[in-house]
Amino acid sequence: MTTPSQTSPFHPSTLSTKVALVTGGGSGIGLEITRQLGLHGAAVVISGRRDHVLQAACDALSPQMTISYVTGDVRKYEDCQRMVSEALKRYGRLDIVVNCAAGNFLALAEQLSSNGFKTVMEIDTLGTFNVSRASVDALKKHRGSSIVNISATLHYGATWYQAHASAAKAAIDSLTRTLALEWGAHGIRVNGIAPGPIQGTAGLKKLAGGDGSGTSLEDMIKEKIPIGRAGTAWDIAMAVVYLCSSAGGFMTGHTMVVDGGEWMWRPPVVGREAVLRVSKAVEGASRNVIGESRTQQTTVRVATSKL
Ligand code: NAP
Ligand code: COA
């Protein structure tokens, strides 16, 4: 199966005049979200803890778009206020917030320390609340504002060795719905995106298991995705552009799964090539059984009527 065209179907002016803040915008999925927001007309402020990562992202993207960065930790409310202030100071407004910053690692629950659990809850869930809360007054000023929370499908069912991140993302989905309910009246839509495995990202390398070497791991993942390929950061970025555009204007409180069907995958009960043969055989056998039992009933009834 081929990967889709990486050419956006949206008009380059889809988000013109908009200003966006993307947490975790310096790497991985957040970097591509930043790029696509910019290519569709938005000015973007990115944030994260590592200065050199943010600087490199700005250097790479600034020829194509309007971009700046601010360092900060989403666990600290005052840092989140600085992120919002940077957008207002540089570009005069804020219309879009993408909460993409997160932390994760594999750990057996019985080996995970209390601080390990707390750390991921604080980056993912508290961080999403902090940034949203720090942004709300700025977002309120214009109709058509939008928050997008990057979630996951870990908590649909259960996921091995990710008690911390599964709980954190479940809480984010809850927050998405509550904030959508409360902030709809301010003209702010709040949605989420739950990506599946996205090739070439830190998330996939850290969490998909295997020996962390990459390629064979990605091939193994592809086998378990009905669409037949791993996701790309572009797939997620296009969903963000849609949700933040007027095309998504009646969407709020919803977390869109963008995973090629991965979360609902389970092994087939019988191989595709054997379905017809096995099903006909079972059907035929079941009719014989029904036929036999009908004959037995008739015999019993005849026998009874003779008494
Ligand atoms: P990534 O490149 O490691 O992105 C995480 C970003 O968050 C980094 O830029 C990191 O920058 C920033 N960050 C982490 N802790 C922070 C903190 N305390 N304060 C501020 N920024 C912080 O990983 P990714 O794989 O692209 O993941 C991006 C998002 O997609 C995450 O929300 C993840 O849960 C979600 N997701 C990914 C996948 C996947 O397959 N990759 C699947 C499902 C969901 P600094 O370290 O410099 O702070
Ligand atoms: N297994 C078990 N516990 C771990 C761990 C691992 N692989 N990595 C960290 N921890 C624990 C630490 O031991 C510590 O707990 P302790 O004090 O009881 O020992 C706790 O988690 C905090 O670790 P620390 O390194 O101080 O946190 P940090 O704030 O510097 O980093 C992380 C946060 C651990 C989430 C780090 O992986 C990170 O910054 N991730 C961002 C990028 C990322 O994870 N991207 C993937 C997609 S989300």
Q: What is the DSSP string of 106-128?
A: ---TTT--HHHHHHHHIIIIIHH
Q: Ligand 2, closest atom to CA 202?
A: 46
* Per-residue pLDDT band at 303 (split at 50, 70, 90): very low
216 pLDDT higher than 80: no
Whose atoms come closest to the Cα of 164: which ligand? 2
What mean pLDDT value characterizes the chain? 93
Of residues 218 and 98, more confidently modeled: 98
CA–centroid distance, 117 to ligand 2, in Å, is: 9
Q: What is the pLDDT of residue 99?
A: 99
Sequence ranges of the domains in the chain: 19-264, 272-305
What value does the mean pLDDT take over residues 226-231?
A: 94
CA–centroid distance, 247 to ligand 1, in Å, is: 27
CB of 13 sitting under 6 A from ligand 2? no
Give me the architecture of the 19-264 domain, per CATH: 3-Layer(aba) Sandwich (3.40)
Q: What is the pLDDT of residue 215?
A: 60
What value does the mean pLDDT take over residues 190-210?
A: 93
What value does the mean pLDDT take over residues 145-159?
A: 98
Pocket of ligand 1 (CB under 6 A): 23-24, 26-30, 48-50, 53, 73-75, 100-104, 123, 150, 152, 195, 197-198, 201-204
41 pLDDT higher than 70: yes
Q: What is the pLDDT of residue 2?
A: 44
CB of 203 sitting under 6 A from ligand 2? yes
Of residues 293 and 72, more confidently modeled: 72
In this predicted model, what pLDDT tens digit does every residue of 104-149 receive, in sequence order?
999 999 999 999 999 999 999 999 999 999 999 999 999 999 999 9
Q: What is the pLDDT of residue 300?
A: 43
Q: What is the pLDDT of residue 221?
A: 81
4 pLDDT higher than 90: no
Q: What is the pLDDT of residue 222?
A: 81
> Which of 201, 225, 240, 259 best tests ligand 1's pocket when mutated (most atoms within 8 Å of CB)?
201
Q: Ligand 2, closest atom to CA 119?
A: 22
In this structure, are residues 20 and 96 in contact, taking their beta carbons and an 8 Å threshold? yes
Euclidean distance between CA atoms 77 and 99, whole angstroms: 14
Q: Ligand 1, closest atom to CA 75?
A: 18
DSSP 135-172: HHHHHHTSTTEEEEEE--STTSS--TT-HHHHHHHHHH
In this predicted model, what pLDDT tens digit does every residue of 172-197 receive, in sequence order?
999 999 999 999 999 999 999 999 99
* Per-residue pLDDT band at 307 (split at 50, 70, 90): very low
Ligand 1, atom 29: closest residue by C-alpha: 100
What value does the mean pLDDT take over residues 245-255?
A: 98
- Output the six-digit token pair for 36: 């696509």
> Which of 35, 49, 82, 263 best tests ligand 1's pocket when mutated (most atoms within 8 Å of CB)?
49
Q: Could you identify the residue written with the tokens 């296009």?
A: 238
273 pLDDT higher than 80: yes
CB burial string 105-144: b at 16+ within 10 A, e below: eebeeeebeeeebebbbbbbbbbbbbbbebbbebbeebee
Q: What is the pLDDT of residue 290?
A: 62
Contacts of residue 98, defined as CB under 8 A and 6 or more positions apart, other chains included, come to: 20, 21, 22, 23, 25, 30, 33, 37, 147, 148, 150, 240
Q: What is the pLDDT of residue 1?
A: 42
Q: What is the pLDDT of residue 212?
A: 56
CA–centroid distance, 93 to ligand 1, in Å, is: 25
Residues in the chain: 307
- Output the six-digit token pair for 158: 């259960």
What value does the mean pLDDT take over residues 70-93?
A: 98
Q: Ligand 2, closest atom to CA 111?
A: 2
19 pLDDT higher than 70: yes
Q: What is the pLDDT of residue 259?
A: 97
299 pLDDT higher than 60: no
Considering the entire predicted model, what is its pTM? 0.94
